[in-house]
């Protein structure tokens, strides 16, 4: 229960900052997930050189 707007803002902003931190970490993991196989196999970014 929030009694003042200040209480509400402190609670929601704190939560949002935590979520932002989690997002940053998750985003790095997500990007690694997409690109990791390219790095391991040494596949170039230029798809024209790829054989599908």
Partner 1 sequence: MPNRPLLPLRKRKVNKMAAEQKESVFKYFVRQITSLPRTPGNIATLVIFAFGALITIMRFTLGIDSVSNLDDNNPWGIWIGFDLMCGVALAAGGYTCSSACYLLGFKRYHSAVRPAITTAFLGYLFVVIALLYDVGQPWRLPYPLTVSFGTTSILFEVGLCVGIYLSVLFIEWSPVAMEWLMSIRQSEGENAVHPKVYKALVWLRPYLRRIRKIVLWMTIPLTVMGVILSTMHQSSLGSLFLIVPSKLHPLWYSAFLPVFFFVSSMAAGLSMVIFEGTLAHKALHNKMDETHLAEADGVVLGLGRACSVILAGYFMMKIMDIGMDHDWHWLFTGYGAWFCVELIGFVAVPCMLYAMGARERKTCYMRWAAALTVAGIIVNRFNVSMVAFNWQLPSVDRYFPSFLEVMLSVFIVTCIVTAYRFIAAKMPMLYELKEFKSHH
Catalog residues that contact partner 1 under the rule CB under 8 A: 8, 11-13, 15-16, 19-20, 23, 26-27, 30-31, 33-34, 36-37, 46-48, 50, 52
The total number of residues written for the chain in this structure: 52
Look up residue 34 and give its two tokens. Answer: 């997409």
Q: Is 6 or 37 the residue whose CB approaches partner 1 more closely? A: 37
- The nearest distance, CB 37 to partner 1, in angstroms, is 5
- The nearest distance, CB 12 to partner 1, in angstroms, is 5
3-state helix, strand, coil in the chain (%, to 5): 75, 0, 25
């Amino acid at each position: 229960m929030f009694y003042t707007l200040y209480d509400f803002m402190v609670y929601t902003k704190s939560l949002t900052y935590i979520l932002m931190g989690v997002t940053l970490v998750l985003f790095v993991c997500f990007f690694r997930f997409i690109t990791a196989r390219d790095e391991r196999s040494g596949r170039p970014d230029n798809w024209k050189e790829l054989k599908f």
